[in-house]
């Protein structure tokens, strides 16, 4: 989703300090998930916290990740449950704007990014509420975990009555990509492997749950599960590899130097 973002931690306010409680409980919304990764003393937790702080404070563009009239009661209930878990700072709600560049502080944008005025973030390519991707993301910095509440609209149809597999891949890529960004900064998808288990009914609500499993140099390995909100149905599961990019060079510059 934000794969073209610069390293968000650089240049951000340094007053924010992450205080981790080793006894912080993990979210139990989705059953059957494997234990999540916790921050080690050497993990870049300040990077995570600063990134969340900036995104939480940014208000220059419309935030599409807020409730609207197209959200079902299940979507609202799940959203409110995560908002409750945000009150103690364990989780953070992540805004979602129509242009990926709007997620980057002005001082950190590269020249080509500052000129992008007509682009549109793919999952936010429709202004009419409820027709496409309705989603909201929440981050747990200490667990290096990102979850996405996803309600597919009728314009995402594949087989009649169900979401197209490509839309499922998009929301998985967006979620694991956002998770990778908070760990490594500017990243790009290198590999995304998805096993589809059960189709997602249009208009239903699912929880996309991703976490960082391992970091090896510039490589960030993640896993993800898409489950029904009661945790009983596994719709898809995936593994992903993201590569950390140079935060001072555009993607085009880096590809041409290969």
* Residue 133 near residue 167, CB atoms below 8 Å: yes
- pLDDT the model gives residue 61: 83
Residues of the chain with pLDDT under 50: 1-59, 250-258
In a domain? residue 111: yes
Q: Number of folded domains in the chain?
A: 1
In a domain? residue 39: no
**Whole-angstrom Cα distance, residue 145 to residue 213?**
10
Which are the contacts of 75, defined by CB distance < 8 A and separation ≥ 6?
Answer: 67, 134, 149, 151, 205
Region of residue 217 (phi > 0: left; psi between -120 and 50: alpha; otherwise: beta): left
Which are the contacts of 121, defined by CB distance < 8 A and separation ≥ 6?
Answer: 1, 96, 97, 98, 99, 100
Burial of 100 (0-12, 13-18, 19+ CB in 10 A): buried
Q: Is 173 designated active site? A: yes
> Which one, of 212, 192, 202, 190, lies nearest residue 235 by Cα?
202
* Residue 27 near residue 125, CB atoms below 8 Å: no
* Residue 75 near residue 107, CB atoms below 8 Å: no
In a domain? residue 248: yes
- pLDDT the model gives residue 18: 30
In a domain? residue 91: yes
In a domain? residue 9: no
Which are the contacts of 79, defined by CB distance < 8 A and separation ≥ 6?
Answer: 67, 71, 136, 149
Tell me the two tokens of residue 96.
């979602």
Phi then psi for residue 68, to 5 deg, are -140, 180
- pLDDT the model gives residue 116: 65
**Whole-angstrom Cα distance, residue 74 to residue 205?**
7
* Choice among 63, 77, 173, 209 that is catalytic: 173
In a domain? residue 222: yes
Q: In terms of DSSP bridges, do strands 187-196 and 234-244 run parallel, antiparallel, or are they unpaired?
A: antiparallel
CATH number, domain of 208, equals: 3.10.129.10
**Whole-angstrom Cα distance, residue 139 to residue 94?**
7
In a domain? residue 143: yes
**Whole-angstrom Cα distance, residue 144 to residue 131?**
31
In a domain? residue 249: yes
- Structure confidence by residue, pLDDT tens digits, 77-88: 999 999 999 999
Q: Which residues span the domain enclosing 128?
A: 45-256
* Residue 52 near residue 139, CB atoms below 8 Å: yes
């Amino acid at each position: 989703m934000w794969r073209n973002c610069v390293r968000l931690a650089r240049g951000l306010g340094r007053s924010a300090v992450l205080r981790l409680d080793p006894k912080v409980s993990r979210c139990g919304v989705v059953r059957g998930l494997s234990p999540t990764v916790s921050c080690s003393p050497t993990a870049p937790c300040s990077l995570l916290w600063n990134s969340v702080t900036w995104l939480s404070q940014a208000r220059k563009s419309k935030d599409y990740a807020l409730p609207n009239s197209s959200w079902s009661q299940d979507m609202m209930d799940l959203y409110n449950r995560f908002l409750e878990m945000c009150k103690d700072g364990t989780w953070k709600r992540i805004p979602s704007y129509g242009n990926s560049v709007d997620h980057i502080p002005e001082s950190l944008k590269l020249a080509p990014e500052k000129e992008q005025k007509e682009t549109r973030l793919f999952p936010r390519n429709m202004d009419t509420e409820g027709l496409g991707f309705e989603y909201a993301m929440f981050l747990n910095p200490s667990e290096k975990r990102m979850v996405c509440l996803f309600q597919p609209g009728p314009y995402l149809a594949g087989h009649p009555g169900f979401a197209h597999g490509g839309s499922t891949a998009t929301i998985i890529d967006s979620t694991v990509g956002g998770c990778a960004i908070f760990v490594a900064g500017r990243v790009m998808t290198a590999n995304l492997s998805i096993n589809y288990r059960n189709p997602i009914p249009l208009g239903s609500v699912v929880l996309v749950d991703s976490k960082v499993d391992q970091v090896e140099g510039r490589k960030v390995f993640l896993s993800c599960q898409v489950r029904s909100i009661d945790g009983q149905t596994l719709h898809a599961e995936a593994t992903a590899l993201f590569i950390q990019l140079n935060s001072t060079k555009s993607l085009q510059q880096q590809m041409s130097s290969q």
